[in-house]
Structure 1
Amino acid sequence: MAHSAHLRPARPEEAAQLSALALRSKAHWGYDEAFMAACVDELTLPPSEVTRRRTTVAEDGDGRLLGLVTLEGAPPVGELGLMFVDPDAIGLGVGRLLFEHMRDAAREAGFRKVSWAADPNAVPFYEAMGGRHAGVIPSGSVPGRTLPLMELSL
C-alpha cells in the first residue's frame, strides 16, 4: 500500500479525522480505556494547529488518510510531535514514508536535530529509522509515566 500512498500537507478541516486516526493508532497497542482517555488531549490536533505544526498526511489513491506526522519547533532543534499510522496500514511502509519525509523536511528547514518522546512499542521502528536513545522524558498524558526520548541528528 505504501507504494500507492502519497504525501501532502494536512488541511485544518481534517483535524478531527487526524485526531481520531492518532487515537486508533495508539489503541492498536492494547492500552486500556483509562489510559486511552488520559491520552485524548495530547493526541487531539486542533484545526488551528494543523499548519503551524507542519502536519503532513499520507493518503491512498482513494483519499483515505493512512497516517500523519508533525514537525514542530524552530531550527536548529525540532520535535517530531505526532506520528501515527492507521492500524490497517501498519507494516505497509507508511510510517517509513512519513518519517523520511519529516527527516528531509527538517533538513531543508535548517534543523540540525529532531527529538521526540516515543511510545515504547514504536522504539524498534524509530531505531530502524536511525533514531537513537537520548534518555527519558515524562509522559504528557499519564502522571508518573516516562517515555523513551529519541533523537535524530541531521
Structure 2
Amino acid sequence: MEILKADIEDHETLTSITKKSKAYWGFSEDILKEWEHLLTVTKDYIAKNKVYKLVQNNEIIGYYSYFFTDEKTIKLDNIFILPEFIGKGFGKILMNDFLKKTKQLDIDKITLDAEPNAEIFYKTFGFETIGKLESSIKDRYLPIMELQIDNKNIS
C-alpha cells in the first residue's frame, strides 16, 4: 500500500470513489444526481490542488485533497474511500498522511466541512466543530470543523 500524488488521468477513478463513498451513507439517487457537480473530480481540480491517492494492489481505493484558503490556512476538501474499505483503518491512514504533510508547512489551522456521519472521525484527530453549514437537504447541516496548528511543537 502506498500514498502517491494523483495524476490528472486519475480524475474518473477519483470521481467514482467519491460517488460510491457518498452513496454508502444512504443518500438517494436524486440527491446524488443533484450533487453531481460537487462529487466530480476534474483534471483541472487535480492540476490546481494537492491530491493524493491511496493505492493497494495497483488499485486506487481512496484519496484526499486540500488547498490553501490563505497563506496560513489549509482546507481539507475531500477524503473518500471505496465503501468496501470504510471502517477498516484506511481513512486513518489517509488522515495521518495528510497531517504529516501539513506539518511541513507554515500554517496556523486546517478547516473542513464534514459529512455529518464523519464528524466523530475528525474529532479523533483533534478537530473541533466551530459552526454548521446548511446543505441542500432540508434540516441537514454540515459541521464546519477546524484544527489549530501549534507550530512550536512540530519537530
TM-score of the superposition, structure 1-length normalised? 0.89
Alpha-carbon separation, structure 1, partners of 2:88 and 2:128: 23
Following TM superposition, by how much is the alpha carbon of 1:10 offset from its aligned partner in structure 2, in angstroms? 0.5
Cα drift, residue 146 of structure 1: 2.8
Q: Which amino acid aligns with 1:17?
A: T
Say yes or no: does 1:64 pair with 2:59.
yes
Following superposition of structure 1 onto structure 2, how do residues 14-93 of structure 1 map, counting pairs within 5 Å? 14-60=10-56, 62-73=57-68, 74-93=70-89
Give % identity.
Answer: 24
Cα displacement (A) at 1:136: 0.8
Amino acid across the alignment from 2:48? R
Measured against aligned partners, the alpha-carbon deviations of 1:95-133 in whole angstroms (never above 9, x if no partner) come to 111111112222212222111110111111111122111
Q: Deviation per CA, 1:27-84, whole angstroms, max 9, x where unpaired?
A: 0011111111122111111112213210001010x21111110111143011001110
Matched-pair contact (CA < 8 Å) for 1:75–1:112? no
Q: Secondary structure at the match of 2:100?
A: helix
1:107 to 103, 114, 125: 103
Q: Does 1:7 align with 2:3?
A: yes
Q: Secondary structure at the match of 2:32?
A: helix
Q: How large is the RMSD of aligned CA atoms in angstroms?
A: 1.5
The structure number with the bigger radius of gyration is 2
Which ranges in structure 2 are unaligned for 5 or more consecutive residues? 150-155
Give the match for residue 116 of structure 1: 112
Structure 1 window deviating more from structure 2 (7-16 vs 106-115): it is 106-115
- TM-score normalised over the length of structure 2: 0.88
Kept in 1: contact 2:50–2:66 (CA 8 A): yes
Give the C-alpha shift of residue 138 in structure 1: 3.5
- The number of equivalent residue pairs is 147
Residue number in structure 2 paired with 1:148: 143
Greater RCO (Cα-Cα under 8 Å, separation 6 or more): 1
